[in-house]
Structures are given as structure tokens and as C-alpha cells.
Structure 1
Amino acid sequence: MTSGPVPREARPLPAAPWSTAAARRSRRRFRVLNLSAVMPLFVVVGAIVVARQAQTWQDVVVLGLGVVVVVVAFERWTVGEILRVAAPCLAVAAAVWPYGVFLTDGDAQGAYYALAVVGCLTVPQLPRHRAAAAIAVTAYVAVVGTLGPVVSGEVNATGLIVGVILPTGITAVLIGLMFPNKGFYDLAAELEETREREAELAVMRERMRFAGDLHDIQGHTLHVVKLKTALARKLLHTDTARVEQELREIYALVGDTITQTKELAYGQRKLNLTAELENARNLLEAAGIRVRVERRAEIDTPAIDLLAQVLRETTTNILRHSRATLARIELSRHGISVVNDGVEDGAPPKLRGLATLADRVSDAGGELTTRLEGGRFLTAAVVPAASPPARLPAT
């Protein structure tokens, strides 16, 4: 047995809107509401029709059968499976109507009740040709109702009104009203699906944010540990004091990373921009990169932790993707920019961490930009400034 792409003809059709979990929940709620509020009404009206118009036990059986198909069709309609019983229910209802017109001794014009109800439940649910089906059902009621007085030879205004106009009009109105009703159900299903989809997207975004933060923590730490380990190995036989210092810093860094990972897992992680700035300076200088820090203004933004993350990710990128000898870090009132040299002209490296941060900065109402020009790489992030405190009204 070989495997391969599934032919288009063999692929399953997309699920109907009501087949999703959210739609099924909505359908269940509507089902309970309809069964408790509308079903008794159908049964009572059907019982009145049978009691008022049946003259013999045969009439009771036939007209009662019409009430039964109404109940069956409505119950199936509430679960979205009306089309499974549409043909037999329509056939029975269509037979009850001429029976009431031609074969009953008394006034049995209410025999159209079953066809009107089953038709209004079935026709709007058809996958196609709904308008044609609605016209066909209405025309059938009108034709049968017209033939009754003609066959009996009792054509008069009252007979036409009771036997033709009234049944035809009620059937047309019921079917017509069910079309917007179907639209209401479809809209409710779409709203449920949209709400469920938004919840899934929120979970996905949170997972991506968590993965990005975890990458920032672990990637940054591992790269720094690698750098410090290489330095300690190089100085192992010449400067044991420096080696011991580097090992202490590695130990402290790993412990701090474990703490940050726990804080991230419990949603308590907050980066300190001042600490990240000092950390970036130490790391870059340890790698032989001169660092210049310019503070043009004090940071005044509620998204200061995002700026700290941008600085951390940028520091990691400088160490990993460049041969920098100089890095300039500039802080403004609500932004930060980092420029480093040692980058070859051409296609810039793919910086996935910064791409993820760009989305988060954008969600916060800011903007993160990167630019490569003349062997220098610029990373700049701007976030909204803090809102000024509201002034109290003068007293």
C-alpha cells in the first residue's frame, strides 16, 4: 500500500459551522431553549387541530401522524440534523394536507399545519435551491387548497379564503420567517467560533512570548558562560586569580538565570534597565569592545522592561554576530538605541530574537527598528512615554 497526496475528490469537505466545539455548545443551548419553550406550543396547536377537525378514528390517525412528523422534524432541527429526516417528514406532511381537503367529512383545512411547519423547518436548511423549494411548497399548498372547492363544486369567497389564501399565506410567512432565523443561528455560531479562536490565539501568543523570554534568558546566559569559560581556560596557567573570579561570575550568572527562569514560569519576571545596562557594559568590555553610554534623559515609560529586553538581546547579538570594537548605547526619555561596528556590508543577519521583540514593542504601541549601514548596525526601540498625572479640579 503506497502513500501519497490525497486526491482532491477524496479529501473530506470542511466541517460545517455547527460542527466545531463552540458551535455545538451554542446549538445545545438553543436546543434546550427551543425544546422547553417552542415544542409544547407545537404539540398544543397540533392537538387542537386534531380535536377540532377529526370526525373519525381514521382522521385522528392521519392528522395525528401530521403532528408526529412536526415533533420529529422540530426535534431534529434543534440538533442541526433536519435534512436527515426531511424527505420522509415532507412526504407525510404533503400527504396529510390533501387527505384533509379531499377525504374528510368536515372542515379539515387545518391539515396544512404539518406541511407548513415541516416546510419552514426544512427549506431554509437546504444546501441550495432554497428559494425554489420555498415556492414549490407554497404553490403545492395553494394548488391543493384550490382543488378542494373545485372538486366539491362549492367555490365561494369564504371557501377560497379559508382553503386557499389562509393556508398559502401562513405557509409562505412561516417559511419566510425561518430564513432570518437561520441567519441568526449562523451568526451566533460565528460569534462563538470567533471567541474561541481569539482565546486560542491569546494562548498561542502567550506561549510565543514565554518561548521568546526563555530564549532571551537561556541564550544570553549560555553565550556569556561560553565567553567566560574560554577566557578562564586561556588564563588558567597565567592568572589563576582572574580565573577564579570568572568562575565565581559564571556560578552567580547561572544562579541568577535559574531565578529568572522561575520568575518567568510564575509570571513575576521584571527586568531592570539599569542592571541590564551595567551588565551589557561589563560583557562587551570583557570581550574587548569599547562601550560608550550616553544618557540624554531619564527613562519615563511604563514599558521600561521592554527596553531592557531589547538591550539584552542586542548585547547578545553583538557578541554572536559581529566583530565589534566599539558600541554606543544611547538612552532617551522613552527609547534606547545601540550602534556597533564590525558588521560586514551585505545582507544583515537573521535576528529572530529581535523580530519577536519587535512584535511585542509594537503591541505596546512602540516601534523597534534595525538598520545596517557602512559596517555599522543600529538597533533602536521607542515606546510610549508615561501619561502625565491627571490634574485635580481646583476647589
Structure 2
Amino acid sequence: MNAGSARPGRLPAAPWSPAATRVSRRRFRALNLSMMLPLLIAVGVFMLIRQAQTPLDVVVLGLGVVAVVVAFERWTVGEINRVALPCLLVAGAVWPYGVLVIDGDPQAAYYALAVVAGLSVAQLPRHRAVLAVGIAVYVAAVGALGMARAADPGVDELLANVVIPTGITVVLIGLMFPNKGFYDVMAELEEARERDAELAVVRERMRFASDLHDIQGHTLHVVKLKIALAQKLVRTDTERVEQELREMYTLVGDTIAQTKELAYGQRKLNLSAELENARNLMEAAGMRVRVDRRGEVGARAIDLSAQVLRETTTNILRHSRATLVRIELAEGGITVVNDGAADDGPPELRGLAALGRRVADDGGELTARVEDGRFVTAVRFPAPSSGRTAPSR
């Protein structure tokens, strides 16, 4: 297989993406930065150009825009609390400068404080309501001072300096409280889903341990009995002792072979049992599983199809954010389709790659590919020729 190949019919071999949770968070952060940050900067610069009258005004109001950019960038990664205080202090200082020093509508001055407060207050661990009220009172008080500067203050001055700045600040802060609650719920659901997936993987490991116990526990028990029998007969029936030793040697050799088959996924499996186990594991992890039986898997394909199903189940539990899994059974093999596949490059699936070589050696084909956010894994064996079984390669 060529490294990095993503063509249908070949197993993709590019490095697998990081944990699904980290990937989704990075993608969400990139989406926020690409969509919202340019808008915030554009609005801030537009207001700055409208209000600034001197180079000093540009510098001071520009600091407010910088505070907005820093606060939003940190908010996208959940670290707004690290910069909340300095950004609030900068934005809080820009507001009175814009009201008391610069003439005209102080749009750019209250813009920075409204955005930074909206991003920061809802994320604080405590005293959020007190700080929200304090900021609103501060905005209104500074606006009232600016209004008092007018020779004959009227409704226009009241709206421009007090009502609109205070209202926008209160609205932005208020909107971020349910926003935070929404993301808290999503984070809890994500953590619960990760725990369910880990539990499913633990169950799979316990099943492997149970299979290993079945293989070796029986052998060790039989060997123990045969050794005890040989000890009793060592002086009276040497032929029987030799027979018991030969049987123990054969039994231990068979157990070693079975253990290797189990470790490398080469043990003969029951497809129906694997299908039921896969359904239980994925449903326990919160996924919906649909099984379509378009035909019964042929005898030639049963064992390898079962192994592919087991490996694919493990990959879905560990590496995807699947919510729906469809398993299709046909005479020539099995197909598993799951959503929630990462779009940042095809994965490297070493277990499936090893199985792919075994499937190819047996005359079949194993494919794994990403299509429109879905990961498709399929194993197919050609139909046997009429009147005879297709030879294995």
C-alpha cells in the first residue's frame, strides 16, 4: 500500500487524527475564529474611524479593539478567565475616554466594554450577577457624566451616552449566560459519551481476557491432572507416563497456537456472536445500530468478516464520534458504515491493514474510506464459480 493513499479499494494509511474530542474542539475554534473574529474586528475598526479625531484617539480606541480580539481568541479555547481582568480594565478605561474626551457619539468607546464584558462575565466561577450589575451601573454612570457635559442635554444625548451603551452591554452579557449553559450541557454530554465508549472498550478487553482464560485455564487444569497422574505412575508404569507426557506436550503446543491466533485476531469467530456483541458495545456507547441482512454471509467469508467486524467496532468506539452505525450483511461479506468520521485526512488503521492482507491472500478485498463525513469499511469475497468453490490464493 502506498503511504497516504486514500483511493477507494485501498486502506488509507495517513496518520490517524487525534482524539475525536480534541479534533471537534479545534474545528469549532477555527470556525469561530474564521467567521466571528473578522466581523468583530471590522465593526471595531469601523466605529473607531467614525469616532476618532486625533492620533491619540486612534491609539486609545484601538486598544479597546485589541482587548476585544484578545478576549474573543481566548474565549474560543475556554481560557477567557486568564485575560478577563486586563481586558476589562482596558475596555473600562476606553469607555470614559470616549465619553469625556472625544466629542460625538461614543460608539467605539462602549463597543469594547460591551463585547469583553459579554464574553467574560458569564464564564466567571462566581459573583457573575454582581459583576454584571456593576458593569451596567458603571456604563450608565460614565454615560451620565458625558451627558452632563452638554450645554443643553436632551433625549439624543441620553440615548447616545446612557440608554444605548447600557442596553447593549446588558443584552450582550445576558445573552452569554444561556450560551454558557448550552456549552456546559454539550461538554457534559461529550464527557458522558467518552466514558461510555471507554466502558465499551473495557468490556471488549474483558471479553478478550475471558477468551484467553477459556484457552489457557482448561489447558493448565488438564496439565496439572496429568502431572499428578504421571507422578503416581513414574515407578510402576513408565509407558503410561511417557504417553501422558506426549499428550501434555501436544496440548501445550495447541494452546500456544490458539493463544497466538487469539492475540493476532486469527481465531475462528462466530459471526452471529460478533454481530450481537458489536451491537451491544456500540449501543452501550450511545450509538444507534441498524443491521441490514441482504443475504447470509457465505461460509468462506464468515471468519474474516467476523474479524473485520470486531476490529471495526473497536475503531468506531475509539476513534469516531459516531451516532449511527449501519451494518450490511451479504453473501460476499460485510459492510460497516458509521458517521462522525473526521474530515482532516484519512486514518491509519493498522489492525484493518493486517486483516486486509489476510483477506487479499484469501482472494477477497478489504476497503476503508471516508465519504461525506462517514467511514465505510467493507470486506468482499468473489462468488464461487458454478459447480466449484473458488480457489484461495
Could you tell me the TM-score, scaled by structure 1's length? 0.59
Structure 1 unaligned spans of 5+: 1-20, 273-301, 305-395
Which of 73, 76, 80 is the equivalent residue of 1:78? 76
Unaligned runs of 5+ in 2: 1-18, 275-393
Residue in structure 2 matched with residue 231 of structure 1 by the alignment: 229
Amino acid paired to 1:122: S
Question: Residue in 2 aligned with 1:46?
Answer: 44
Q: Equivalent residue for 1:136?
A: 134
Alpha-carbon RMSD:
2.8
Indicate the residue corresponding to 1:353 in structure 2.
none
Q: Distance in 2 between matches of 1:85 and 1:243?
A: 80
1:250 Cα deviation from its structure 2 partner: 1.9
Kept after mapping to 2: 8 A contact 1:53/1:106: yes
Q: Which residue pairs with 1:160 in the alignment?
A: 158
**Shift, 1:90, TM fit:** 0.9
1:48 counterpart letter in structure 2: F
Maintained 8 Å contact 1:260/1:269: yes
Aligned residues: 257
**1:12-51 alignment runs, 5 A limit:** 24-51=22-49
- 1:362 is matched with none
Measure, in 2, the Cα distance between the counterparts of 1:271 and 1:156. Answer: 85
Q: Is the 8 A contact 1:27 1:78 kept in 2?
A: no
Query: Of 190, 200, 203, which residue of structure 1 is paired with 2:201?
Result: 203
Tell me the equivalent position of 1:248: 246
Deviation at 1:115, TM superposition (A): 0.3
Q: Which has the higher contact order (CA 8 A, sep 6+)?
A: 2
CA positional deviation for 1:158: 2.3
User: Does structure 2 conserve the Cα–Cα contact (< 8 Å) formed by 1:26 and 1:188?
Assistant: no
- Map Cα deviations across residues 256-304 of structure 1 (whole Å, 9 max, x no partner): 21232123213344599xxxxxxxxxxxxxxxxxxxxxxxxxxxxx669
**SS of corresponding position for 1:85:** helix
The residue number in structure 2 matching 1:55 is 53
Residue aligned with 1:127, SS: coil
Q: Cα offset for 1:52?
A: 0.9
The alpha carbon displacement at 1:241 in A equals 4.3
Deviations 1:39-59 (A, max 9, x none): 101110011101111122222
Structure 1 distance, partners of 2:113, 2:37, is 16
Deviation at 1:248, TM superposition (A): 3.4
Distance, in Å, in 1 between the alignment partners of 2:170 and 2:134 is 10
d(CA) in 2 for partners of 1:126, 1:260: 58
User: Quick one: which amino acid aligns to residue 62 of structure 1?
Assistant: V
Distance of aligned partners of 1:271 and 1:79 in 2 relative to their CA distance in 1, 3 Å threshold: closer
Deviation at 1:207, TM superposition (A): 2.3
Distance in 1 between the 2:154 and 2:22 partners? 51
Secondary structure in 1 matching 2:104:
coil
Q: Secondary structure of 1:80's partner?
A: coil
What is the CA deviation profile of residues 175-225 of structure 1, one whole-angstrom value per residue up to 9, with x for unaligned ones? 111122223333343344334333332332222222232223222211211
The residue type paired with residue 260 of structure 2 is: K
Q: CA deviation at 1:123?
A: 0.5
Larger radius of gyration: 1
Q: Secondary structure at the match of 2:122?
A: helix
The 8 Å contact of residues 22 and 193 in structure 1, kept in 2 or not, is answered as no
SS in 2 for 1:207: helix
Q: In structure 2, what residue type is equivalent to 1:35?
A: L
Distance 1:108 1:139 in 2: 17
Q: 2:149 aligns with which of 129, 148, 151?
A: 151
Letter of the structure 1 residue corresponding to residue 152 of structure 2? E
Q: For residue 125 of structure 1, give the secondary structure of its aligned residue in structure 2.
A: coil
Structure 1 residue 26: deviation in Å?
4.1
- Using the size of structure 2 for normalisation, the TM-score is 0.59
| Cα shift at 1:130 | 0.9
Same amino acid, percent of matched pairs: 72
